[in-house]
Structure 1
Amino acid sequence: MAQKAGLSIGALADRTGMAVSAIRYYEEQGLIAPWRNAGGQRRFPRADIRRLSFVRIAQQFGFTLPEIRSLLDELPGGRTPTPQDWSRIAARFRVRLDQRIETLQRLRDNLDGCIGCGCLSLPKCALYNPDDRAGDKGSGPRYLMGDKPET
């Protein structure tokens, strides 16, 4: 198939292992941008195989579609991304993955004493939060998310 002709949505589905409905959804979300041929059919650049593969991987790591779109928006439009383009994206992806790994490790290390306890009031507990002082820092389990309790 000539590069200029692009891939049909069915061919893209076959190549990526995704359902056509999923590809349409990702199109609606702005993650891929096909064009229409003279007959009005969607055509996708071959580079969308890689983009959709990246979407699947990023979702498996817990990234939201807006986060994924933000990363993919850095790729060039009108040409196939180069290895340098993907390296730039990978660097940002790595930073976010490292942040998630750090958060997961903090959860692992601090939750084991509290699971099943339910008291949340012991001074040694990482969740200790008298008068909801952590609430001033934002929503969620602030100390487990990295904020330090005031001493």
Structure 2
Amino acid sequence: MAMKRIDPEDWGKELTVGEVARRSGVAVSALHFYETRGLIRSHRNRGNQRRYPREVLRRVAVIKVAQRVGVPLASIKAALDSLPDGRSPTAADWARLSRIWRDELDARIGQLQRLRDQLDGCIGCGCLSIKACRLRNPWDELAEHGPGAHLLEP
């Protein structure tokens, strides 16, 4: 399918939520969700319909890429909030944000590798059996730390 060329007169034209959804490949409901979370912004026209600046497409693209690699929405919001005047990220901004997220991703990769390596014997919380986990969790001592896989936490 050929991309429709944008008439130069339309560059300043604001987009409807449907246009943003179609152009970004994100469902309208997801756009509304992003807006309630403060990731993107719109304003209402005289007919009380949402209108988005064209720059929202870049913000949505950044959100999609960050989500795809596993960055939590709270981290995405914090990163976007760090931009002056809530503008869309530039290439330099993206490089800075990706360096920050790289550390988070490296930590998550380490957790996943530990889980993979322990998966066949114990998932790290002592839940399989006291007999099988005596060396890792004698007498279910990890229960004192509450629920979860404590041996996998850094």
Q: Which runs of structure 2 are paired with 1:1-151 in the superposition (5 Å)?
A: 2-37=10-45, 40-77=48-85, 79-114=87-122, 118-119=128-129, 120-123=132-135, 128-134=136-142, 139-146=147-154
Contact 2:71 2:105 in 1 (8 A): no
Q: CA deviation at 1:27?
A: 0.6
Task: Classify 1:56/1:79 alpha carbon distance in 2 versus 1 (closer, same or farther; 3 Å).
Answer: closer
Task: Classify 1:108/1:34 alpha carbon distance in 2 versus 1 (closer, same or farther; 3 Å).
Answer: same
Unaligned 5+ runs, structure 2: 1-8
> What letter corresponds to residue 109 of structure 2 in structure 1?
I
Task: Classify 1:79/1:52 alpha carbon distance in 2 versus 1 (closer, same or farther; 3 Å).
Answer: closer
Report the Cα distance in structure 1 between the residues aligned to 2:40 and 2:85, rounded to whole angstroms: 10
Report the Cα distance in structure 1 between the residues aligned to 2:118 and 2:52, rounded to whole angstroms: 47
Contact 2:114 2:152 in 1 (8 A): yes
> What letter corresponds to residue 72 of structure 2 in structure 1?
T
Task: Classify 1:144/1:81 alpha carbon distance in 2 versus 1 (closer, same or farther; 3 Å).
Answer: closer
RMSD over aligned CA atoms reads 2.7
Q: CA deviation at 1:37?
A: 4.1
Q: CA deviation at 1:139?
A: 4.9
> What letter corresponds to residue 95 of structure 1 in structure 2?
D
Report the Cα distance in structure 1 between the residues aligned to 2:30 and 2:58, rounded to whole angstroms: 15
Q: CA deviation at 1:79?
A: 3.8
- Identical positions, percent: 45
Contact 1:5 1:43 in 2 (8 A): no
Contact 2:38 2:77 in 1 (8 A): yes
Report the Cα distance in structure 2 between the residues aligned to 1:121 and 1:5, rounded to whole angstroms: 63
Count residues in correspondence.
141
Q: CA deviation at 1:145?
A: 1.5
User: What TM-score, normalized by structure 2, do the two folds share?
Assistant: 0.73
Q: CA deviation at 1:129?
A: 2.1
Report the Cα distance in structure 1 between the residues aligned to 2:140 and 2:37, rounded to whole angstroms: 38
User: What TM-score, normalized by structure 1, do the two folds share?
Assistant: 0.75
